Amino acid sequence: MVLLRCRNLAICSLNHHFTHCFPSLSSSSSLAVHQHPQNDLLRCNSRIRELLRNRRVEDARSVFEEMAQRNSITWNSMITGYFRNGQVEEAKSLFDNFSGKNIRTWTTMVSGYANNGKLEDARRVFNSMPERNVVSWNAMINGYAKYGDLKSARILFDGMPERDAESWNTMITGYSHCGLLREARELFDQMQNKDIVSWLVMISGYVRSNDHVEAWNMFSKMHHGGVRPDQSIFVVTLSSITGLNSRMLIAILRTVAIKTSFEGDVKVGTAIMNAYTKAGNLELALDFFKIMPQRNEFTWTTIIAALSKSGRLQDAISMYNQAPEKNVPTQTALMTAFAQHGKIHEARRIFEEIKNPNEITWNTMVTGYAQNGMLEEAGMVFRRMPVRNIESWATMISGLSQKGQSEEALNLLAELHRSGMVPNHSTFTSSLYACGNIESLEMGRQIHTLTVKTGCQFNSYVGNGLILMYAKCRNMEDVHQVFNTMRVKDIVSWNTMVSVLSHNGKLVDARTAFEKMPQRDIVSWTAMISGYAQARLGYLAFELFLDMFASGVNPDQSCLTVLLRTCADLGVAKLGKQIHALVFKLGLDFGISISNALIFMYFKCGCKDGFQVFDEMPDHDVVSWNSILDGCAENGFGMKAVELFEQMKSEGTRPDQISFVSILCACSHAGFIDKGWAYFNSMNRDYGIMPLEPHYACMVDLLGRAGHLYSAEDFIKNMPIEPDSIVWKALLGACRIHQNVELGRRVAEKLFQLEPQNSGIYILLSNIYASVGMWKEVGEIRTLMRHRGVRKEPGFSWIQIKHITSYFVNGDKTHDQAEEIFSTLREFVERLKEYGYVPNTHFVLHDIEEEQKENALLYHSEKLAIAYGILNMPDGTSIQIMKNLRICGDCHTFTKFMSKVTEREIIIRDNKRFHHFRDGSCSCGDYW
């Protein structure tokens, strides 16, 4: 009885278990299975694998627990399932409890750990394996390669007792994905038995690195070697042709596809059609689409997307209407088209018509709102999603961080982390960008730690994001640490490092990194050139530009924009015009950024060509208007500035804070008091723009220049914000113009408290005293400067002739042509006196005799530069001079007479503005 009872219990248990696995079978079937237990084992193993494929891990574990008999396949399947669902500890627990481990079990653990970024655990298991086969070695190598540790992968690869094609392909793939195509190619060439995967990896690698010529060469080599391309090879090779923009190569590949019976393949056909669209041959794509023997939903979505990206929204809608089936993919494609064209409400209408939208459709709606700046609506859709995948979270976090809502982006990342979902590379990159925006170093460090835990720190995008984040948080030590510990540095990593170093003033380190780069692209050169330009080392920027040009790298719009800004800083219009001509020569598009830079450059160089550039632009943004308004203000075209400002408003461009600074500055330099007040009052009233310190400074300057000094002082006292040194210096400068000692002394005392080491304040007060003959007070100011260790900035002027810049200081006798320059000046002074020029000795700020004062005036640096220009430039050509300080009144009068006598235009740019002297008058109208 006991034996019978035990046997019946076993039968009942087995019947119960089998019925649980397969409830559709009858009890009689259960008896048959009991008679064949091997069938039961096979079916339960199959059921476990099915449940795991559907991510029903707990249900699979229930079947596993109820099984009366298990084999190594059962255990291995469960361990694999746990790893694939990120449940690493559960997988480890099963592994530890499995007494029948075989080589596949051990390899499963190695692969599982590696795929979850736990490379140290994977290596520990690998080292503990009682025996290994080539699959085990490949699993470990694949783990290292997947996470960018190619050094460790190569060491293992070189030490393998035997290799198969997968071993070689794994290493080649690793190198290729990290952009190390030279290393990948070396291994590829060493392979004795290349398979189709080997060729696919190499062609794909070249396509990813944008070396489309080599990708096509690789395909040609494969084809001529007798290897028959498959579907994947055709698709990726068509991608390379897209990069080459060659209709002829598409035709050649179509011929190969026809010969190998692949043109009728729907995926290959769709790729051919896509190649036509990417090469700008949309009509050929449409013709090919019409003759395709087969079309699938991807074909329809591809052609709809191509029409939309080409700006042909109505044609995209028409194509959608022709689709035989309005399924979710085609509906999603039309949603994307509407969103791309700003028709987000039409996209939403399509979305609402879809009965069962999938994750891609939901994400498309979120992306559409985010792309159109409607983050609140994007968030509402995101919250409604029944199931969110990692792309959903990544889209929202990216949208928030890109729109400056950094704290909201980081809060969403925290919510994602709490949900148990693992962030992907895109999510980490966007989150690090958000941290950098708000300089949240602590949060950045936490995200860095999380990238390490998830094994994402070796991804180049994440590594580059870490570098940028630490740089924005001004933590250069961690910048270097991240860069130095990156296992693989792609060109973006190097470019990021060069850019970060150069823009943080570490130009020596940046140049060292630049020289170490294994390869450089236009971004690399531009980053280094930009660093020099930002540091006001324009000559080094142009030297590097010439090196770049000589190496065969052509500049792009970004590079040329930097160079034009550098020309503006140097005041070299001739060089700027050469850059302008280069844009034509290279056939580059005069995009709005280059046009704006040209306007800025021309006006900063005192050249009216900026007006022509502005007039030829098809469209203007607010930067364009601000550039020309600032140019008018700086060059003394006050009335023109007012006309342009009114035109700007009438054309619908809304002025911003910079616009108002420019127009107020123009009114100040032109003496337009009423207009200046009107514009100042309209800022908040009409545009909701609160005036800031620069606007108040312009108003103080406007009132002060006009002689309303005490009104300017009252204006400062009634400011709703605390006045800064810029505001007070504007009033002190006005006191200098109008020789108001009492107010000047009072204002200077305030400035001494704000900027005690600013030499300009002391000099302005000293000049006020000197202008009224208070020489004792002048001496006291100089004594105070010595006591406080304040040094005066020496005044100097410079002129560029034939790319050679010559500098002059007052009374400079060191120049090679000093004698000729002095003699020329003396001769011209005598001639000018005949025309009515009288040296104004009030501008000599030293207590010396009258004759000595005239001599001191004669040898001011700008006069020396003018004489040098007359001696070395052809008659009638204009002379342009730069000066680091404000031009004095006597030099201003002298230059007016010189422009008339010599019949030349003389342009002087001082530290405030341009003065265009022509026919005895100045563009400033003697109001500066």
Got the DSSP string for 390-437? HHHHHHHHHHHHHTT-HHHHHHHHHHHHHTTPPP-HHHHHHHHHHHHH
**Any domain includes 134:** no
Q: How far is CA 604 from CA 142, 609, 628, 777, 926, in A?
A: 57, 11, 10, 38, 20
Cα distance between residue 928 and residue 896, in whole Å? 14
CA 635 to chain centre: 33
| Rounded average pLDDT per 10-residue block, the chain, 928 residues | 33 40 38 51 88 88 89 91 88 91 93 88 93 93 86 92 91 83 89 89 83 86 88 85 77 85 85 80 84 86 85 87 86 88 89 86 89 88 88 90 90 88 87 92 92 78 90 89 81 88 89 90 92 90 92 89 90 88 84 91 90 92 95 91 96 94 94 95 94 94 93 94 92 91 94 92 89 88 91 86 86 89 92 86 48 64 94 92 87 92 91 87 80
Single out the residue of 798, 770, 818, 803 nearest to residue 885, CA to CA: 798
**Any domain includes 698:** no
Cα distance between residue 136 and residue 139, in whole Å? 5
For residue range 231-261, what is the model confidence (pLDDT) as tens digits?
888 888 887 777 677 778 888 888 888 888 8
Task: Kindly state the helix (H) or strand (E) to which residue 908 belongs, with its residue range.
Answer: strand 906-909
Single out the residue of 404, 494, 398 nearest to residue 178, CA to CA: 494
Cα distance between residue 341 and residue 617, in whole Å? 24
Number of Cβ atoms within 10 Å of the Cβ of 450: 17
Domain span at residue 866 reads: 796-922
Q: What is the DSSP string of 318-339?
A: HHHHH-S---HHHHHHHHHHHH
Q: Which residues contact 502 (CB under 8 A, 6 or more apart)?
A: 510, 527, 528, 530, 531, 532, 534, 535
Burial 863-892 (b: 16+ CB within 10 A, else e): bbbbbbbbeeeeeeebbbbbbebbbbebbb
Residue whose tokens read 């050649």: 252
Dihedral sign, Cα of residue 443, residue 444, residue 445, residue 451: positive
- φ and ψ of 800, to 5 deg: -110, 125
The one-character DSSP state at 26 is -
**Domain tally, the chain:** 1
**Any domain includes 814:** yes
Alpha-helix residue ranges (DSSP H) falling in 772-860? 775-788, 818-834, 850-858
The one-character DSSP state at 843 is G
Burial 314-347 (b: 16+ CB within 10 A, else e): ebbbebbeebeeeebbbbbbbbbbbbbeebbebb
Taking the model in full, what pTM does it have? 0.65
**Any domain includes 887:** yes
**Any domain includes 681:** no
Cα distance between residue 773 and residue 631, in whole Å? 37
**Any domain includes 590:** no
Q: Is 375 left (phi over 0), alpha (psi -120 to 50) or beta?
A: alpha
The pLDDT value given to residue 685: 94
Cα distance between residue 136 and residue 93, in whole Å? 20
The pLDDT value given to residue 850: 43
Exposed, middle or buried by CB within 10 Å (0-12, 13-18, 19+), for 714? exposed
Alpha-helix residue ranges (DSSP H) falling in 504-556? 507-516, 522-534, 538-550
Single-letter amino acid, residue 326: K
Cα distance between residue 465 and residue 380, in whole Å? 28
For residue range 1-44, what is the model confidence (pLDDT) as tens digits?
233 333 333 334 334 443 444 443 333 333 333 445 556 888 89
Pairing of strands 879-883, 796-801: antiparallel
Single out the residue of 869, 698, 666, 841 nearest to residue 771, CA to CA: 841
Cα distance between residue 898 and residue 890, in whole Å? 12
**Any domain includes 855:** yes
Cα distance between residue 120 and residue 152, in whole Å? 11
**Any domain includes 902:** yes
Q: Are 289 and 303 in contact (CB under 8 A)?
A: yes
The 3-state DSSP class for residue 382 equals helix
Largest Cα span, the chain: 143
The pLDDT value given to residue 489: 77
Q: Are 857 and 839 in contact (CB under 8 A)?
A: yes
CA 219 to chain centre: 34
Residue whose tokens read 């050509």: 877
Q: Which residues contact 631 (CB under 8 A, 6 or more apart)?
A: 599, 600, 602, 603, 604, 610, 637
